[in-house]
Amino acid sequence: MTTETRLCPCCTEIKYLSDFHKDATRKDGVTSHCKECRKPAGKKKRNGYKNMNNRQMEASKRYIAKYPKKRLAIAFIRRLITKGVILPASSKKCIHCRKQAQHYHHWNGCEPINYLEIVPLCMPCHKAEHKRMKLETN
């Protein structure tokens, strides 16, 4: 395997870098899975968008526009999980009720300097935490 090739973990074939989509966030500049292996996932995602009605689509766009920092913080944590730097929240216990966690909560905000200030929470505790934070700001 040379620097112009890489192994696709999905199909386990060694392919040229041109067979992978570009990804500026990765060290080698390409996605981990080849274009052929990513096709079914992309199709599934697009079909999911087709099934959304206009109201849901608009609500999703408004949310993304309203919370751009939150979206970047979540994407940062997802990349660290994918790279194996941190464990998924599902492998940890909720810090409040000790049930299996499902999410990481950015307890100190979503500024880039606070991206790693996260705690594992289960869904009910995560919702309660956001309600509490909302009440504190009002």
SS3 category, 125: helix
Query: Which amino acid does the sequence have at 29?
Result: G
> What pLDDT is recorded for position 51?
63
Which pair of tokens denotes residue 108?
């100190």
User: With contact defined as beta carbons under 8 Å apart, do 35 and 22 qualify?
Assistant: no
Q: How far is CA 88 from the centre of its chain?
A: 11
Encode the chain (138 residues) as per-residue pLDDT tens digits.
557 888 888 888 899 989 998 887 777 788 888 898 888 766 666 566 666 677 777 888 888 899 899 889 999 999 998 888 999 998 999 999 999 999 999 988 889 899 999 999 999 999 999 899 888 877
Task: Tell me the domains of the chain and their CATH numbers.
Answer: 1-51 (3.30.60), 67-138 (no CATH)
Q: What is the pTM of this model?
A: 0.56
CA angle in degrees (0–180, nearest 5) for 99-102-86: 110
CA 11 to mean position of chain CA atoms: 23
pLDDT at position 9 is 87
